[in-house]
Amino acid sequence: MLVMIVAGFARWFSGGYPMPTVTPASQNSEALLFVTLRAFASGCTALAGIEAVANGTSNFKEPSSKTAKGVLLSMAFVVGAIFLGVSVLMCLYRILPRSESTTISLLAAAVFGDGSAMYYVVQAMTVAILSLAANTAFADLPHLMAMMAEDKYLPRRLVFRGSRLNYSNGIAVLFAASALLVAAFGADHHALLPLYTSGVFISFFLNQLGMLRYWRSAKERAVYPRIAVNAVAIVATTITIIVLILTRFLEGAWVTLLSIFLLTELMLHIRRHYHKVEQELTVNTVDDAMKMLHSTHPGKAILPIRSMNRAFLKAYNCAHGMGFSEIELYHIGSSEAEALRLKEKIEALGLDCTYVYEITEYRNTDDMLIRHIEEADMQTERHQHLTVVMPSLVTLNPFRQYLHNETSRVLLRRMARYRYVYIFQVPYLFD
Protein backbone atom coordinates (compact mmCIF):
# COMPACT_ATOMS: atom_id res chain seq x y z
CA MET A 1 0.00 0.00 0.00
CA LEU A 2 2.83 2.40 0.86
CA VAL A 3 4.58 1.59 -2.44
CA MET A 4 1.32 2.28 -4.29
CA ILE A 5 0.90 5.61 -2.51
CA VAL A 6 4.46 6.73 -3.31
CA ALA A 7 4.16 5.55 -6.93
CA GLY A 8 0.78 7.26 -7.26
CA PHE A 9 2.06 10.64 -6.10
CA ALA A 10 5.21 10.29 -8.22
CA ARG A 11 3.19 9.55 -11.34
CA TRP A 12 0.83 12.42 -10.61
CA PHE A 13 3.50 15.05 -10.08
CA SER A 14 5.50 13.82 -13.07
CA GLY A 15 2.49 14.43 -15.29
CA GLY A 16 1.97 10.77 -16.10
CA TYR A 17 -1.74 11.03 -15.40
CA PRO A 18 -4.16 13.53 -16.99
CA MET A 19 -5.29 16.40 -14.82
CA PRO A 20 -8.86 15.89 -13.61
CA THR A 21 -11.68 18.26 -14.38
CA VAL A 22 -12.59 20.17 -11.23
CA THR A 23 -16.25 19.88 -10.35
CA PRO A 24 -17.71 22.94 -8.57
CA ALA A 25 -18.54 22.27 -4.94
CA SER A 26 -22.13 22.27 -3.75
CA GLN A 27 -23.42 25.60 -2.52
CA ASN A 28 -25.53 23.95 0.17
CA SER A 29 -23.30 24.32 3.23
CA GLU A 30 -25.68 22.32 5.45
CA ALA A 31 -25.66 19.35 3.06
CA LEU A 32 -21.86 19.59 2.74
CA LEU A 33 -21.48 19.56 6.53
CA PHE A 34 -23.81 16.57 6.81
CA VAL A 35 -21.93 14.64 4.11
CA THR A 36 -18.61 15.52 5.77
CA LEU A 37 -19.81 14.30 9.16
CA ARG A 38 -21.15 11.11 7.62
CA ALA A 39 -17.86 10.48 5.83
CA PHE A 40 -16.01 11.15 9.09
CA ALA A 41 -18.21 8.70 10.98
CA SER A 42 -17.78 5.99 8.34
CA GLY A 43 -14.04 6.54 7.96
CA CYS A 44 -13.38 6.35 11.67
CA THR A 45 -13.92 2.59 11.54
CA ALA A 46 -10.26 2.42 10.54
CA LEU A 47 -9.49 3.09 14.21
CA ALA A 48 -11.29 -0.03 15.40
CA GLY A 49 -8.02 -1.97 15.63
CA ILE A 50 -7.05 -0.17 18.82
CA GLU A 51 -9.70 -2.20 20.64
CA ALA A 52 -7.67 -5.36 20.10
CA VAL A 53 -4.58 -3.70 21.57
CA ALA A 54 -6.47 -2.22 24.54
CA ASN A 55 -8.21 -5.49 25.42
CA GLY A 56 -5.09 -7.60 24.90
CA THR A 57 -2.62 -5.47 26.85
CA SER A 58 -2.15 -8.21 29.44
CA ASN A 59 -0.86 -10.53 26.71
CA PHE A 60 1.99 -8.23 25.69
CA LYS A 61 5.60 -8.69 26.72
CA GLU A 62 6.50 -6.89 29.94
CA PRO A 63 6.36 -4.02 30.51
CA SER A 64 3.01 -4.67 28.86
CA SER A 65 1.68 -1.10 28.94
CA LYS A 66 4.85 0.27 27.35
CA THR A 67 4.83 -2.42 24.68
CA ALA A 68 1.16 -1.73 23.94
CA LYS A 69 1.91 1.98 23.54
CA GLY A 70 4.57 1.13 20.97
CA VAL A 71 2.12 -1.03 19.06
CA LEU A 72 -0.49 1.73 19.10
CA LEU A 73 1.99 4.34 17.85
CA SER A 74 3.11 2.04 15.04
CA MET A 75 -0.50 1.32 14.16
CA ALA A 76 -1.42 5.01 14.20
CA PHE A 77 1.45 5.84 11.83
CA VAL A 78 0.75 3.02 9.38
CA VAL A 79 -3.03 3.43 9.38
CA GLY A 80 -2.79 7.23 9.19
CA ALA A 81 -0.30 7.19 6.33
CA ILE A 82 -2.24 4.62 4.30
CA PHE A 83 -5.66 6.12 5.01
CA LEU A 84 -4.68 9.69 4.19
CA GLY A 85 -2.52 8.72 1.22
CA VAL A 86 -5.21 6.57 -0.37
CA SER A 87 -7.89 9.22 0.30
CA VAL A 88 -5.87 11.93 -1.45
CA LEU A 89 -5.05 9.67 -4.40
CA MET A 90 -8.73 8.80 -4.76
CA CYS A 91 -9.43 12.50 -5.24
CA LEU A 92 -6.46 13.13 -7.56
CA TYR A 93 -7.21 10.15 -9.79
CA ARG A 94 -10.98 10.73 -9.67
CA ILE A 95 -11.72 7.20 -8.41
CA LEU A 96 -15.44 6.69 -7.95
CA PRO A 97 -17.07 3.62 -6.36
CA ARG A 98 -18.34 0.93 -8.72
CA SER A 99 -20.48 -2.08 -7.97
CA GLU A 100 -18.22 -4.46 -9.91
CA SER A 101 -14.89 -3.44 -8.32
CA THR A 102 -13.48 -1.97 -5.11
CA THR A 103 -11.97 1.50 -5.02
CA ILE A 104 -8.60 0.04 -3.94
CA SER A 105 -8.62 -2.15 -7.05
CA LEU A 106 -9.49 0.82 -9.26
CA LEU A 107 -6.71 2.92 -7.69
CA ALA A 108 -4.14 0.15 -8.12
CA ALA A 109 -5.17 -0.22 -11.77
CA ALA A 110 -4.81 3.53 -12.30
CA VAL A 111 -1.35 3.70 -10.66
CA PHE A 112 0.28 0.46 -11.86
CA GLY A 113 -1.88 -0.45 -14.85
CA ASP A 114 -4.75 -2.90 -15.02
CA GLY A 115 -3.39 -6.47 -15.12
CA SER A 116 0.17 -5.57 -14.09
CA ALA A 117 2.14 -7.61 -11.54
CA MET A 118 1.93 -4.90 -8.86
CA TYR A 119 -1.83 -4.66 -9.39
CA TYR A 120 -2.21 -8.33 -8.39
CA VAL A 121 0.23 -7.87 -5.49
CA VAL A 122 -2.00 -5.10 -4.09
CA GLN A 123 -5.06 -7.31 -4.54
CA ALA A 124 -3.38 -10.25 -2.77
CA MET A 125 -2.23 -8.07 0.13
CA THR A 126 -5.74 -6.64 0.45
CA VAL A 127 -7.15 -10.14 0.81
CA ALA A 128 -4.44 -11.01 3.35
CA ILE A 129 -5.03 -7.97 5.54
CA LEU A 130 -8.81 -8.45 5.44
CA SER A 131 -8.31 -12.06 6.55
CA LEU A 132 -6.19 -10.86 9.46
CA ALA A 133 -8.82 -8.27 10.32
CA ALA A 134 -11.54 -10.94 10.36
CA ASN A 135 -9.35 -13.14 12.57
CA THR A 136 -8.83 -10.29 15.05
CA ALA A 137 -12.35 -10.73 16.40
CA PHE A 138 -11.83 -14.47 16.97
CA ALA A 139 -8.52 -13.79 18.72
CA ASP A 140 -9.69 -10.86 20.84
CA LEU A 141 -13.39 -11.13 21.63
CA PRO A 142 -13.12 -14.57 23.34
CA HIS A 143 -10.38 -13.06 25.53
CA LEU A 144 -12.63 -10.13 26.38
CA MET A 145 -15.52 -12.47 27.16
CA ALA A 146 -13.22 -14.50 29.41
CA MET A 147 -12.37 -11.36 31.40
CA MET A 148 -16.07 -10.51 31.71
CA ALA A 149 -16.81 -14.09 32.76
CA GLU A 150 -14.18 -13.77 35.51
CA ASP A 151 -16.16 -10.77 36.75
CA LYS A 152 -19.32 -12.98 36.61
CA TYR A 153 -21.08 -11.05 33.86
CA LEU A 154 -20.96 -14.02 31.46
CA PRO A 155 -21.12 -17.80 31.96
CA ARG A 156 -18.08 -19.17 33.76
CA ARG A 157 -17.37 -21.75 31.08
CA LEU A 158 -16.08 -18.94 28.84
CA VAL A 159 -13.05 -18.63 31.17
CA PHE A 160 -11.69 -22.10 30.48
CA ARG A 161 -9.24 -22.75 27.67
CA GLY A 162 -9.52 -25.62 25.22
CA SER A 163 -6.93 -28.22 24.23
CA ARG A 164 -5.23 -25.66 21.96
CA LEU A 165 -4.92 -23.23 24.88
CA ASN A 166 -7.40 -20.77 23.39
CA TYR A 167 -10.85 -19.79 24.59
CA SER A 168 -12.64 -22.38 22.47
CA ASN A 169 -16.06 -21.78 24.06
CA GLY A 170 -15.85 -18.06 23.27
CA ILE A 171 -14.77 -18.84 19.71
CA ALA A 172 -17.77 -21.14 19.30
CA VAL A 173 -20.14 -18.44 20.61
CA LEU A 174 -18.63 -15.85 18.26
CA PHE A 175 -18.85 -18.26 15.33
CA ALA A 176 -22.54 -18.92 15.99
CA ALA A 177 -23.32 -15.20 16.37
CA SER A 178 -21.38 -14.34 13.20
CA ALA A 179 -23.12 -17.06 11.21
CA LEU A 180 -26.49 -15.78 12.44
CA LEU A 181 -25.69 -12.21 11.35
CA VAL A 182 -24.40 -13.34 7.96
CA ALA A 183 -27.57 -15.37 7.37
CA ALA A 184 -29.89 -12.61 8.64
CA PHE A 185 -28.30 -9.86 6.49
CA GLY A 186 -27.58 -11.96 3.42
CA ALA A 187 -23.79 -11.56 3.78
CA ASP A 188 -24.13 -7.93 2.60
CA HIS A 189 -21.29 -5.99 4.24
CA HIS A 190 -23.01 -2.70 3.42
CA ALA A 191 -25.93 -3.83 5.61
CA LEU A 192 -23.63 -5.09 8.37
CA LEU A 193 -21.39 -2.01 8.48
CA PRO A 194 -23.86 0.18 10.45
CA LEU A 195 -23.99 -2.48 13.17
CA TYR A 196 -20.23 -2.53 13.34
CA THR A 197 -19.57 1.20 13.33
CA SER A 198 -22.22 2.10 15.89
CA GLY A 199 -21.06 -0.62 18.28
CA VAL A 200 -17.41 0.37 17.89
CA PHE A 201 -17.94 4.02 18.67
CA ILE A 202 -20.21 3.41 21.61
CA SER A 203 -17.38 1.33 23.08
CA PHE A 204 -14.89 4.10 22.21
CA PHE A 205 -17.08 6.62 24.02
CA LEU A 206 -17.37 4.44 27.13
CA ASN A 207 -13.63 3.79 27.07
CA GLN A 208 -12.80 7.50 27.01
CA LEU A 209 -15.41 8.24 29.66
CA GLY A 210 -13.86 5.60 31.90
CA MET A 211 -10.38 7.03 31.37
CA LEU A 212 -11.66 10.53 32.20
CA ARG A 213 -13.11 9.28 35.48
CA TYR A 214 -9.87 7.45 36.22
CA TRP A 215 -7.69 10.53 35.71
CA ARG A 216 -10.07 12.69 37.75
CA SER A 217 -9.82 10.26 40.67
CA ALA A 218 -6.00 10.46 40.51
CA LYS A 219 -6.08 14.11 41.74
CA GLU A 220 -2.65 14.98 40.37
CA ARG A 221 -1.79 18.11 38.43
CA ALA A 222 0.27 16.10 35.95
CA VAL A 223 -2.84 14.36 34.69
CA TYR A 224 -4.59 17.50 33.43
CA PRO A 225 -3.19 17.17 29.87
CA ARG A 226 -4.43 13.59 29.81
CA ILE A 227 -7.85 14.70 31.03
CA ALA A 228 -7.94 17.21 28.17
CA VAL A 229 -7.09 14.51 25.62
CA ASN A 230 -9.84 12.23 26.91
CA ALA A 231 -12.32 15.12 27.01
CA VAL A 232 -11.62 15.92 23.35
CA ALA A 233 -12.02 12.23 22.52
CA ILE A 234 -15.37 12.13 24.33
CA VAL A 235 -16.61 15.09 22.26
CA ALA A 236 -15.40 13.50 19.00
CA THR A 237 -16.92 10.10 19.74
CA THR A 238 -20.19 11.69 20.88
CA ILE A 239 -20.49 13.60 17.61
CA THR A 240 -19.69 10.43 15.69
CA ILE A 241 -22.32 8.39 17.53
CA ILE A 242 -24.98 11.06 16.92
CA VAL A 243 -24.15 11.19 13.22
CA LEU A 244 -24.20 7.40 12.97
CA ILE A 245 -27.56 7.16 14.71
CA LEU A 246 -29.05 9.88 12.51
CA THR A 247 -27.68 8.49 9.24
CA ARG A 248 -27.58 4.73 9.85
CA PHE A 249 -30.39 4.09 12.34
CA LEU A 250 -32.86 2.63 9.84
CA GLU A 251 -30.04 0.92 7.91
CA GLY A 252 -29.24 -1.36 10.85
CA ALA A 253 -27.84 0.72 13.71
CA TRP A 254 -31.08 0.10 15.62
CA VAL A 255 -30.12 -3.59 15.83
CA THR A 256 -26.92 -2.68 17.68
CA LEU A 257 -28.68 -0.33 20.08
CA LEU A 258 -31.35 -2.93 20.86
CA SER A 259 -28.73 -5.67 21.24
CA ILE A 260 -26.69 -3.55 23.65
CA PHE A 261 -29.74 -3.01 25.84
CA LEU A 262 -30.71 -6.71 25.81
CA LEU A 263 -27.16 -7.95 26.38
CA THR A 264 -26.68 -5.50 29.26
CA GLU A 265 -29.84 -6.79 30.93
CA LEU A 266 -28.71 -10.38 30.32
CA MET A 267 -25.27 -9.76 31.83
CA LEU A 268 -26.75 -8.05 34.88
CA HIS A 269 -29.09 -11.03 35.32
CA ILE A 270 -26.11 -13.42 35.09
CA ARG A 271 -24.24 -11.32 37.64
CA ARG A 272 -27.19 -11.41 40.07
CA HIS A 273 -27.51 -15.16 39.60
CA TYR A 274 -23.86 -15.80 40.42
CA HIS A 275 -24.16 -13.52 43.45
CA LYS A 276 -27.13 -15.52 44.75
CA VAL A 277 -25.31 -18.81 44.14
CA GLU A 278 -22.26 -17.52 45.98
CA GLN A 279 -24.38 -16.47 48.95
CA GLU A 280 -26.13 -19.84 48.98
CA LEU A 281 -22.92 -21.89 48.85
CA THR A 282 -20.78 -19.80 51.18
CA VAL A 283 -19.95 -21.38 54.56
CA ASN A 284 -19.60 -18.52 57.02
CA THR A 285 -17.99 -20.27 59.99
CA VAL A 286 -16.34 -23.56 60.89
CA ASP A 287 -19.31 -24.40 63.12
CA ASP A 288 -21.67 -24.15 60.14
CA ALA A 289 -19.47 -26.54 58.19
CA MET A 290 -19.29 -29.00 61.09
CA LYS A 291 -23.07 -28.96 61.52
CA MET A 292 -23.57 -29.76 57.86
CA LEU A 293 -20.98 -32.53 57.89
CA HIS A 294 -22.44 -34.29 60.94
CA SER A 295 -26.12 -33.52 60.45
CA THR A 296 -26.77 -36.57 58.27
CA HIS A 297 -26.11 -40.28 58.57
CA PRO A 298 -26.12 -43.01 55.94
CA GLY A 299 -29.77 -43.47 55.12
CA LYS A 300 -31.80 -45.27 52.56
CA ALA A 301 -30.74 -45.96 48.97
CA ILE A 302 -33.16 -46.65 46.12
CA LEU A 303 -31.76 -48.58 43.19
CA PRO A 304 -34.11 -48.76 40.17
CA ILE A 305 -33.92 -52.16 38.46
CA ARG A 306 -35.37 -53.35 35.18
CA SER A 307 -33.55 -56.66 34.81
CA MET A 308 -30.73 -58.62 36.37
CA ASN A 309 -27.70 -57.51 34.34
CA ARG A 310 -24.05 -56.47 34.77
CA ALA A 311 -24.82 -52.74 34.97
CA PHE A 312 -27.26 -53.36 37.83
CA LEU A 313 -24.80 -55.63 39.70
CA LYS A 314 -22.07 -52.98 39.51
CA ALA A 315 -24.46 -50.34 40.84
CA TYR A 316 -25.54 -52.69 43.67
CA ASN A 317 -21.92 -53.39 44.65
CA CYS A 318 -21.28 -49.66 44.77
CA ALA A 319 -24.38 -49.00 46.91
CA HIS A 320 -23.59 -51.94 49.22
CA GLY A 321 -20.06 -50.69 49.79
CA MET A 322 -21.23 -47.21 50.80
CA GLY A 323 -22.80 -48.51 54.01
CA PHE A 324 -26.43 -47.51 53.60
CA SER A 325 -28.78 -48.55 56.36
CA GLU A 326 -31.25 -49.88 53.77
CA ILE A 327 -31.03 -50.65 50.06
CA GLU A 328 -34.31 -50.83 48.22
CA LEU A 329 -34.58 -52.34 44.73
CA TYR A 330 -37.49 -50.70 42.95
CA HIS A 331 -38.95 -52.36 39.87
CA ILE A 332 -41.75 -51.25 37.56
CA GLY A 333 -43.05 -54.15 35.49
CA SER A 334 -45.77 -54.80 32.99
CA SER A 335 -46.90 -58.09 34.59
CA GLU A 336 -46.94 -59.82 37.96
CA ALA A 337 -45.13 -62.86 36.58
CA GLU A 338 -42.23 -60.72 35.34
CA ALA A 339 -41.84 -59.04 38.73
CA LEU A 340 -41.91 -62.37 40.58
CA ARG A 341 -39.29 -63.92 38.27
CA LEU A 342 -36.98 -60.98 39.04
CA LYS A 343 -37.66 -61.46 42.77
CA GLU A 344 -36.58 -65.12 42.52
CA LYS A 345 -33.26 -64.08 40.91
CA ILE A 346 -32.62 -61.53 43.68
CA GLU A 347 -33.33 -64.12 46.39
CA ALA A 348 -31.13 -66.69 44.64
CA LEU A 349 -28.18 -64.28 44.77
CA GLY A 350 -28.81 -63.58 48.44
CA LEU A 351 -28.74 -59.80 48.02
CA ASP A 352 -29.09 -57.83 51.25
CA CYS A 353 -31.91 -55.54 50.16
CA THR A 354 -35.62 -54.87 50.08
CA TYR A 355 -37.48 -55.60 46.86
CA VAL A 356 -40.42 -53.36 45.93
CA TYR A 357 -42.32 -53.57 42.66
CA GLU A 358 -45.30 -51.99 40.96
CA ILE A 359 -47.27 -53.30 37.99
CA THR A 360 -48.50 -51.03 35.21
CA GLU A 361 -49.27 -51.37 31.52
CA TYR A 362 -50.21 -47.83 30.56
CA ARG A 363 -48.76 -45.36 33.07
CA ASN A 364 -45.55 -43.39 32.56
CA THR A 365 -42.81 -45.32 34.37
CA ASP A 366 -40.67 -42.20 34.82
CA ASP A 367 -43.51 -40.44 36.62
CA MET A 368 -44.04 -43.50 38.81
CA LEU A 369 -40.35 -43.55 39.80
CA ILE A 370 -40.39 -39.83 40.64
CA ARG A 371 -43.56 -40.28 42.71
CA HIS A 372 -42.00 -43.21 44.59
CA ILE A 373 -38.87 -41.15 45.36
CA GLU A 374 -41.02 -38.26 46.62
CA GLU A 375 -42.93 -40.59 48.96
CA ALA A 376 -39.68 -42.13 50.24
CA ASP A 377 -38.21 -38.67 50.79
CA MET A 378 -41.22 -37.65 52.90
CA GLN A 379 -40.77 -40.73 55.09
CA THR A 380 -37.03 -40.19 55.59
CA GLU A 381 -36.08 -38.85 59.00
CA ARG A 382 -34.48 -35.42 59.28
CA HIS A 383 -31.02 -36.66 60.29
CA GLN A 384 -30.86 -39.09 57.36
CA HIS A 385 -30.68 -38.66 53.62
CA LEU A 386 -32.12 -40.47 50.63
CA THR A 387 -29.81 -41.59 47.81
CA VAL A 388 -30.87 -42.73 44.35
CA VAL A 389 -28.27 -44.97 42.69
CA MET A 390 -28.72 -45.07 38.92
CA PRO A 391 -26.92 -47.67 36.75
CA SER A 392 -25.85 -46.15 33.43
CA LEU A 393 -24.50 -47.78 30.28
CA VAL A 394 -21.64 -45.75 28.73
CA THR A 395 -20.10 -46.31 25.30
CA LEU A 396 -16.99 -44.62 23.91
CA ASN A 397 -18.64 -44.09 20.55
CA PRO A 398 -20.37 -40.66 20.71
CA PHE A 399 -22.94 -41.66 18.09
CA ARG A 400 -23.94 -44.86 19.89
CA GLN A 401 -24.17 -43.01 23.18
CA TYR A 402 -27.42 -41.41 22.03
CA LEU A 403 -28.89 -44.90 21.72
CA HIS A 404 -28.61 -45.44 25.49
CA ASN A 405 -29.33 -43.76 28.82
CA GLU A 406 -31.90 -41.28 27.57
CA THR A 407 -34.18 -42.35 30.43
CA SER A 408 -31.35 -41.94 32.94
CA ARG A 409 -30.57 -38.43 31.72
CA VAL A 410 -34.22 -37.38 31.88
CA LEU A 411 -34.62 -38.77 35.40
CA LEU A 412 -31.41 -37.11 36.58
CA ARG A 413 -32.62 -33.73 35.37
CA ARG A 414 -36.01 -34.16 37.03
CA MET A 415 -34.61 -35.45 40.34
CA ALA A 416 -32.00 -32.71 40.55
CA ARG A 417 -34.63 -30.29 41.89
CA TYR A 418 -34.83 -32.18 45.19
CA ARG A 419 -32.26 -30.52 47.43
CA TYR A 420 -32.06 -33.28 50.05
CA VAL A 421 -32.11 -36.24 47.65
CA TYR A 422 -28.67 -37.43 46.57
CA ILE A 423 -28.31 -38.77 43.04
CA PHE A 424 -25.46 -41.14 42.28
CA GLN A 425 -24.87 -42.46 38.75
CA VAL A 426 -22.76 -45.60 38.32
CA PRO A 427 -21.40 -45.95 34.77
CA TYR A 428 -20.87 -49.31 33.12
CA LEU A 429 -18.44 -49.03 30.20
CA PHE A 430 -19.30 -50.86 27.00
CA ASP A 431 -16.83 -50.48 24.13
Q: Which pLDDT tens digit goes with each residue over 351-395? A: 889 999 998 876 677 788 888 888 888 887 766 778 888 888 777
Average pLDDT score over residue span 320-347: 89
Q: Give 224 or 362, the one with higher predicted confidence.
A: 224
Average pLDDT score over residue span 326-332: 91
Average pLDDT score over residue span 4-25: 73
Q: Is residue 322 predicted with pLDDT exceeding 50?
A: yes
Q: Which CATH number, 3.30.1130.10, 3.40.50.620, 3.30.70.141, 3.30.70.2660, labels domain 295-430?
A: 3.40.50.620
pTM value > 0.85: no
The pLDDT, as a whole number, for residue 415 is 75
The pLDDT, as a whole number, for residue 355 is 93
The pLDDT, as a whole number, for residue 22 is 47
The pLDDT, as a whole number, for residue 405 is 59
Residue 66 confidence class, pLDDT cut points 50, 70, 90: confident
Q: Give 340 or 400, the one with higher predicted confidence.
A: 340
The pLDDT, as a whole number, for residue 176 is 93
Q: Is residue 29 predicted with pLDDT exceeding 70?
A: no
Range with the lowest mean pLDDT among 33-37, 113-117, 151-155, 400-404?
400-404
- Please count the other Cβ atoms lying within 10 Å of the Cβ belonging to residue 149: 21
Q: Is residue 414 predicted with pLDDT exceeding 90?
A: no
Domain boundaries, the chain: 295-430
pLDDT in tens, 99-139: 778 888 989 998 998 889 999 999 999 899 888 877 878 87
pLDDT in tens, 166-179: 888 899 999 999 89
Average pLDDT score over residue span 92-99: 82
- Please count the other Cβ atoms lying within 10 Å of the Cβ belonging to residue 87: 12
pLDDT in tens, 258-307: 888 899 999 999 999 989 888 877 877 777 777 666 655 667 899 998 88
20-32: buried (b, 16+ CB within 10 Å) or exposed (e) per residue?
eeeeeeeeeeeee
Residue 244 confidence class, pLDDT cut points 50, 70, 90: confident
Q: Measured between alpha carbons, how far is 205 from 24 in angstroms, rounded to an integer?
A: 36
The pLDDT, as a whole number, for residue 42 is 64
The pLDDT, as a whole number, for residue 291 is 67
The pLDDT, as a whole number, for residue 403 is 65
252-261: buried (b, 16+ CB within 10 Å) or exposed (e) per residue?
bbebbeeeee
Residue 28 confidence class, pLDDT cut points 50, 70, 90: low
